[in-house]
Amino acid sequence: MANTPAGHICALVAALLLAVALAWNDGSTGRVSWDLHCDFHGHDLTSQQAASEHCGDICAFVADCTHWTWTAYLGGTCWLKQGRMSQAYVSAVSNCGFVKDKFTVDEVNGIDFDTSVPTTKSGNGDGLSADDAASVLQVLSFYRVAYNKPRLMLDARLVLAANEMVKACPPSSAHNAELHQESSAERFGFHDRVFTLLSVRASNTSIADVLSTWGDMSDTASTPLLKSNTTVVGFARRSSTDCKLKEASMERASTDVWVVLLA
């Protein structure tokens, strides 16, 4: 099991608590740390147009700057910020970093992935908690890194599309992920090719088990999980009483429906 894709996923789950600490990269001759696809909210000091790789040097030079977010606004803008501690947020459209001797990432609250599914009425549960969503994104990315593929970043359009798709009961069997090339992503302005992973599992099945199903598919090398040109992801989960699951001649009335969109 340990040498299979599913085994890699299970092993990576154990490393999730170290994920935030391992994600930061050194820059500006070791004075700053930075990462892709992250954001620090608020505490704005000033802004300066510059390429993302220059934000660290600029922040380290400005006396009151402790951390920053970079976006592509006006061709590239460093949003310089002030404060001793702040929470990092995953973002599909920005990078971020901080000056090591001036700033500390809020490790108590960790990284807020803000991808939970809104609660709906009867038949639909609470979806993904913030912790579960963080685990899904981190494990998917670490699984790819283990095969020398780039990490994934969230795409808001794919998240919205996944939340739409998860409302329906997939036509797939319980333990076999289905690959599709169609999704509702186009309705949200995403026009590139999209691959869909669907699964119906027993309620409270661990995230590791769900991801193991997808990672243990036959012909793994051709799955979107390991495609080099797969760069973005959106996902959703719904606790369901209307999507039935038959296991060993026993029908489960409560299930979890999973949708993961990759492009």
Tell me the pLDDT tens digit for each residue of 219-236. Answer: 444 477 788 888 888 888
* pLDDT confidence bin for 258, thresholds 50/70/90: confident
Q: What is the pLDDT of residue 56?
A: 95
Please tell me what DSSP assigns to residue 52. G
Evaluate if residue 212 carries a pLDDT over 60. Answer: yes
Nearest to 209 by CA among 20, 29, 6, 46: 6
| Architecture label for domain 31-111 | 3-Layer(bba) Sandwich (3.50)
Please name every residue paired with 72 in a beta bridge, in sequence order, or none if there are none.
none
* Mean pLDDT value of segment 202-215: 67
pLDDT digits (tens, 9 = 90+) for 112-126: 444 333 333 334 444
pLDDT for 187: 64
**Mean pLDDT of all residues in 177-186:** 50
More confident residue, 49 or 247: 49
Q: 44-53, 156-165, 186-195 — which is least confidently predicted?
A: 186-195
Q: Identify which has the larger pLDDT, 116 or 128.
A: 128
User: Which tokens belong to 181?
Assistant: 């090339």
| Average pLDDT score over residue span 175-196 | 60
* Pair of tokens at residue 110: 């960790």
Superfamily of domain covering 5-17+115-262: CAP (3.40.33.10)
Burial class (CB in 10 A: 0-12, 13-18, 19+), 72: exposed
How far the first Cα of the chain sits from its last, in Å, is: 28
Angstrom CA distances, 9 to 13, 245, 261, stand at 6, 24, 18
Q: Provide the 8-state DSSP code for 150.
A: P
Q: Is the pLDDT of residue 183 over 50?
A: yes
Q: Are strands 44-49 and 94-99 parallel, antiparallel or unpaired?
A: unpaired
Lowest mean pLDDT among 2-16, 175-189, 218-232: 2-16
Q: How many Cβ atoms are within 10 Å of 76's Cβ, its own excluded?
A: 16
What residue segments make up the domains of the chain, in order of their start?
A: 5-17+115-262, 31-111
Phi-psi region of 219 (alpha: psi -120 to 50; beta: other; left: phi over 0): left
Average confidence (pLDDT) over 170-195: 57
3-state secondary structure of 38: strand
Token pair 């700033």 is found at 103
Q: What is the DSSP string of 211-261?
A: HHHHHT-SSGGGSGGG-TT--EEEEEEEEESSS-EEETTEEES-EEEEEEE
Over the stretch 14-49, which tens digit does the pLDDT of each residue have? Answer: 333 333 333 688 888 889 999 887 888 888 899 999
Q: Where are the alpha helices (DSSP H) in 49-149?
A: 55-61, 130-145
pLDDT of residue 60: 94
Bridge partners, 259 (sequence order): 198, 236
The pLDDT of residue 171 is 56
